[in-house]
Amino acid sequence: MNQKVVFITGASTGIGHASAQKLLQNGFIVYATARRVELMKDLEEQGAKIMKCDVTKDEDIQNVVDTIIQNEGRIDVLFANAGYCLLGPVELHSSESVSQQFDVNVVGCGRAVSAVLPHMRKQKSGRILITSSAAGHVSMPGMPWYPATKHAQQGLADGLRMEVKEFGVNVSLIEPGYIDTDIDNASLPWLDKAEQHPNASAYAHQMKTFREKWSKGIDTGASSETITKVVLHAASSKKPKRRYHPNTDAKGAIFMKRWFGYGLLDKAIPGQSIY
């Protein structure tokens, strides 16, 4: 009777998948959702309830929420985690690709929030966790559209947090840096596509360097366990934080921006690791 019910988007791989396992291990009733249900069979074996959910489709999200309410009677936690990285310089992506990036990372998050809030307001409690990124504080060459969505998530979360406080709902942003997940394989095809653009030659040297640093950063990034600890804290603590910066590179980037400003960032970021 005391088990909390959590709805996770983007649970097929990476942070979402690892967080589903962590929450299951800590007694949560987990509804793990993603477009590729076949990648969540192990979660189902561990006790999760898996469902197909494309966050760009209102009907998918509403179906999940309706099912949870029918089965459990409540939703205690939404972990809006679904997202991907649109890699490549600004000039080399079509408006359609950019719209898709925002639809998944920002509007998709908003769809899930809007679907759970009526129930959280009714029960006068709830947690909304949003996977953002250190890139929401510090942008970089080679993938500016992705940080643009993360900046947007910050604005969304900050306003939302103030809106829903009176209803007993808390909002937390999870803002990691590099994480060792398969986001590398999911994102690099976008860089491949950018390299086919008619104007790609102007950025060839930048994209070559970016590709190498991106892959290295992912391979040497923090483990998913680093992130799942803060997800569990945000989902269960009596006083969850507004923002969580789980790993060292995320904290370093945010510190650099706060204390040294854009002048140093503009010089340092192009030659350093990318978040």
| Catalytic hit among 31, 84, 146, 262 | 146
Q: What is the DSSP string of the chain?
A: ----EEEESS-SSHHHHHHHHHHHHTT-EEEEEES-GGGGHHHHHTTPEEEE--TT-HHHHHHHHHHHHHHHS---EEEE-------S-GGGS-HHHHHHHHIIIIIHHHHHHHHHHHHHHHHT-EEEEEE--GGGTS--TT-THHHHHHHHHHHHHHHHHHHHGGGTEEEEEE----B-STHHHHHHHHHHHHTTSTTGGGGHHHHHHHHHHHHHHHHTSBPHHHHHHHHHHHHH-SS--SEE--SHHHHHHHHHHHHHHHHHHHHHGGGS---
Active site residue 275: no
Rounded CA gap, 49 and 51, in Å? 7
Longest CA pairwise span in the chain (Å)? 60
Report the catalytic residues.
146
